[in-house]
Amino acid sequence: MRVKSQTRYHIQRVLTFSGVTLESLTFSGVTMEYSGNETSTFANLRSFHSGVTVEFPLCDTISFMKKKHIIAGSAGFLRPTPARPELGPVMRYMLDLTGQKRPKLCLLATAGGDDPAWIKNFYDACSGQNVEPGHLQLFPMPNHTDIEDYVLGQHAIWVGGGSVVNLLAVWEAHGLHRILRRAWEAGVVLGGISAGAICWSAGGTTDSYGPELRPVINKHHLLPYSMGVHYDGEEQRRPLFQELIGKGALPEGYATDNGVALHFVNEKLYKTISQEAGKGAYHVSLSEPGQVIEDRIEPQLLTAM
């Protein structure tokens, strides 16, 4: 997009194009071009993303910020048959957010111990699709020499399920939590299912310790909410999630039935989506008298492609 100035003028508003947010404009008389997503002055502008010309007066400073997206919940791959995994509608929704015709999609299967079978299923699901698949494994050692360079070069990152407790420990040991935060802030779309959803939140319930569910706290969270997964699939999930929020052990949060995911933009819930009819999402909070309140959120039903 090209910004062409004519008269001095100040605009205090937000404009979004090609995934870039433009805000606080003060224009005065030059044609400027920009390429990048960081805060910049007009002296540093070079080329805009879309090539569309927009009439604005000249700016003293422009802030360009990528929107930060997280897709998290209880939905991911589809399996029409046991031998044929597919990218589900929720994953395709996530890929569309990248704005890329052939996005680079990285799998993190840390929670499953980087199981080779899981990684193979991922590549099988991506085969023949308009996506460039890759993966980052940490067991027994990283498969990329420069983890940060690899992660920041992706358009989207999908985190699989398994043990969220083990995932958080291994990520911290490798400094991956810091790298993923930088990727998120740079506009890489993050997503995941089950443990791969809780890992972005302040905590949730987990079977990482054994069959009886226990709380898990994530000190490196990107979202300030707790996360409940498989809400309709495991009978312990709902009562324990509510109990922990009621006691203040977890902050207010969101929960998803199987097949449902939450779309957060810049730390706020933007939309709930589902790849199965009749399923729901829930906001669970604590009222002033100390009563747990659960509000159902009806998701948008996505269609398989």
The answer on pLDDT for 7 being more than 80 is: no
Selected catalytic residue, list 194, 201, 226, 274: 194
Selected catalytic residue, list 69, 177, 230, 263: 230
Reported as a single tens digit per residue, the pLDDT across 285-300 is 999 888 999 999 999 9
Reported as a single tens digit per residue, the pLDDT across 26-85 is 333 333 333 333 333 333 333 333 344 444 444 444 444 689 999 999 999 887 777 788
**227 pairs with which residues across the strands?**
204, 254
SS3 content of the chain, % helix, strand, coil (to 5): 20, 35, 45
pLDDT at 79: 76
- Residues 82-109: b if buried by 16+ CB within 10 A, e if exposed: eeebbbbbbbbbbbebbebeebbbbbbb
Q: What is the mean pLDDT of residues 221-248?
A: 97
194 labelled catalytic: yes
Asked if 85 and 78 count as a contact pair (C-beta separation under 8 A), the reply is yes
Measured CA to CA, the distance from residue 140 to residue 240 in angstroms comes to 34
pLDDT at 129: 95
Asked if 102 and 155 count as a contact pair (C-beta separation under 8 A), the reply is no
Asked if 43 and 5 count as a contact pair (C-beta separation under 8 A), the reply is no
Pairing of strands 9-17, 20-27: antiparallel
Supply the DSSP symbol for 34: -
Measured CA to CA, the distance from residue 67 to residue 123 in angstroms comes to 28
CA dihedral 111, 95, 65, 57 (to 10 degrees): 180
63 labelled catalytic: no
Reported as a single tens digit per residue, the pLDDT across 163-197 is 999 999 999 999 999 999 999 999 999 999 999 99
Please choose, from the candidates 271, 167, 256, the residue with its C-alpha nearest in 3D space to the C-alpha of residue 220: 167
Task: Quickly count: other Cβ atoms within 10 Å of residue 281's Cβ.
Answer: 25
Q: Quick one: 267 exposed, middle or buried, by C-beta within 10 A (0-12, 13-18, 19+)?
A: exposed
Record the pTM: 0.80
Pairing of strands 268-274, 300-301: parallel
What's the token pair of residue 237?
Answer: 């999930």
Distance set, CA 161 to CA 107, 187, 207, 219, 292 (Å): 11, 23, 11, 19, 28
Measured CA to CA, the distance from residue 291 to residue 195 in angstroms comes to 28
Rounded to a whole number, what is the distance in angstroms from the first to the last CA of the chain?
A: 31
The answer on pLDDT for 16 being more than 60 is: no
Distance set, CA 284 to CA 71, 74, 213, 281 (Å): 18, 16, 18, 10
Q: Quick one: 55 exposed, middle or buried, by C-beta within 10 A (0-12, 13-18, 19+)?
A: exposed
